[in-house]
């Protein structure tokens, strides 16, 4: 059955049923009224929004609807993670063509609810519009962790200082490797293919890690969505500093190195959507954070001094490493 046959009201009833049971009792007023209502948190509110647009951010032939649902929430979760925040409530605005199958929307919500449950988020409302292409917009609200409040109790982009180390959680390049594999139609062994697909379509936002970094004394972070160099550039620009990183320190999984023996450095430096956390902090704070999390936290460079956000990449012999691949030029344009 297509949405055209089910109709808008039918779809609304169906989604309301899918979202029932997220919250017990009468603690909040969620879907089904003109607006959601819930008590305020005891901290500053964090708010972020992001859209996934068919043709620009994804292609329906490549991604499953459930993965699309997961990712649409995950990209927003990552922004809350980058602030050290706790995600709480989501609003979902969907633009859908009438020809979309009802079962596709069911799967979309299934994936979204899976991500919501995994990270303690309640979907409290949304909007439906008919359109010629699929657009999924999620707005996510959150708070600061318990015991934190106000402007200084956040990880911001403008807090990097000369002498601080620069570190990144997890590993880089796998999501971009997955996208490259799918776009070029390249084949690897089944395990590698599954892993690259998962990193691209089911990214794991670093919610717990963000709060651990904040508690350990880190006050400057950004999530890696545009690619390491670009996001580090944003951080450096906001902080008014320059940064040097070492290419041989980049954490890149064995699977990515094997799949792209020539291109893994470029994928790690310029590929996007890793959704890892990139931070600048004194080494003592990073050491404290490392002791409190299972996820790897790798120092990849340091803040050199005041500047305009210039990022220098050095190779193992301390020579400047230049990204001259066509891929990097494409990212630049």
Q: Which residues bind Mg ion (CB under 5 A)?
A: 79, 223, 225
- Nearer to Mg ion (CB atom), residue 63 or residue 221: 221
Q: Least distance to Mg ion from the beta carbon of 124, Å?
A: 22
Q: Which is nearer to Mg ion, 66 or 278 (CB)?
A: 278
Cβ nearer to Mg ion, comparing 192 with 225:
225
Q: If you search the block for the tokens 């046959």, which residue do you land on?
A: 5
Query: Which pair of structure tokens corresponds to residue 288?
Result: 């404290």
What is the distance between the alpha carbons of residues 82 and 235, in angstroms, rounded to a whole number? Answer: 12
| Least CB distance to Mg ion at residue 278 (A) | 10
CB 154, min distance to Mg ion, A: 13
Q: Which is nearer to Mg ion, 78 or 212 (CB)?
A: 78
Nearer to Mg ion, 79 or 96 (CB): 79
- Going by C-alpha positions, the residue among 59, 50, 46, 2 that lies closest to residue 183 is 59
**What does the DSSP assignment read for 159-178?**
---TT-EEEEES-SSHHHHH
Tokens of 57: 């951010």
CB of 79 to Mg ion, least distance (A): 4
Name, in order, each residue with C-beta under 8 angstroms of 160's C-beta and a sequence gap of 6 or more: 166, 220, 235, 236, 239, 241, 243, 280, 303
Q: Toward Mg ion, which CB reaches closer, 223 or 274?
A: 223
CB-based contact 107:15 (threshold 8 Å): no
- Closest distance to Mg ion from the beta carbon of 232 (Å): 12
**In the complex, least distance from residue 216 CB atom to Mg ion, rounded to whole angstroms:** 20
Which residue number, 165 or 225, has a Cβ lying nearer to Mg ion? Answer: 225
Contact 179, 63 (CB under 8 A): no
Closest distance to Mg ion from the beta carbon of 155 (Å): 11
How near is the Cβ of 239 to Mg ion at its closest, in Å?
15
Residue 71 or 109 having the CB closest to Mg ion:
71
Positive or negative CA dihedral for 27, 28, 30, 34?
A: positive
How far is residue 120's CA from residue 114's CA, in Å, rounded to a whole number?
A: 10
Exposure of 35 by Cβ count < 10 A (0-12 exposed, 13-18 middle, 19+ buried)? exposed
Query: Under a CB-based contact definition with an 8 Å cutoff, are residues 231 and 311 in contact?
Result: no
Check if the beta carbon of residue 88 is closer than 8 Å to that of residue 41: yes
């Amino acid at each position: 059955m297509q949405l055209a046959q089910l109709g808008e009201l039918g779809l609304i009833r169906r989604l309301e049923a899918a979202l029932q049971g997220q919250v017990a009792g009468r603690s909040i007023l969620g879907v089904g009224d003109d607006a959601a209502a819930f008590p305020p948190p005891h901290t500053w509110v964090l708010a972020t929004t992001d859209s996934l647009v068919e043709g620009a951010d994804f292609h329906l032939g490549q991604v499953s609807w459930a993965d699309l649902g997961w990712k649409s929430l995950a990209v927003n979760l990552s922004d809350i993670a980058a602030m050290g925040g706790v995600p709480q409530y989501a609003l979902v605005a969907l633009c859908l063509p009438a020809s979309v199958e009802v079962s596709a929307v069911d799967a979309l919500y299934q994936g979204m609810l899976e991500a919501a449950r995994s990270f303690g988020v309640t979907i409290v409302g949304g909007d439906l519009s008919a359109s010629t292409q699929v657009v999924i917009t999620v707005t996510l609200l959150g708070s600061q962790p318990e015991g934190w409040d106000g402007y200084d109790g956040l990880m911001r982009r403008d807090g990097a200082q000369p002498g601080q180390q620069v570190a990144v959680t997890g590993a880089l390049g796998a999501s971009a490797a997955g996208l490259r594999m799918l776009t070029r139609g390249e084949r690897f062994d089944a395990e590698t293919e599954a892993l690259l697909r998962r990193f691209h379509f089911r990214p794991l936002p670093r919610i717990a890690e963000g709060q651990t970094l904040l508690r350990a004394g880190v006050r400057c972070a950004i999530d890696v969505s545009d690619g390491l160099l670009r996001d580090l550039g944003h951080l450096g620009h906001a902080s008014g500093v320059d940064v040097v990183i070492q290419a041989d320190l980049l954490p890149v999984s064995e699977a990515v190195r094997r799949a792209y023996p020539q291109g893994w450095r470029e994928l790690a430096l310029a590929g996007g959507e890793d959704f890892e956390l990139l931070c600048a902090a004194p080494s003592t704070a990073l050491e404290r954070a490392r002791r409190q999390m299972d996820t790897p936290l790798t120092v990849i460079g340091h803040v050199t001094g005041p500047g305009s956000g210039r990022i220098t990449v050095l190779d193992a012999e301390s020579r400047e490493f230049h990204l001259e691949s066509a891929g990097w030029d494409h990212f630049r344009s």
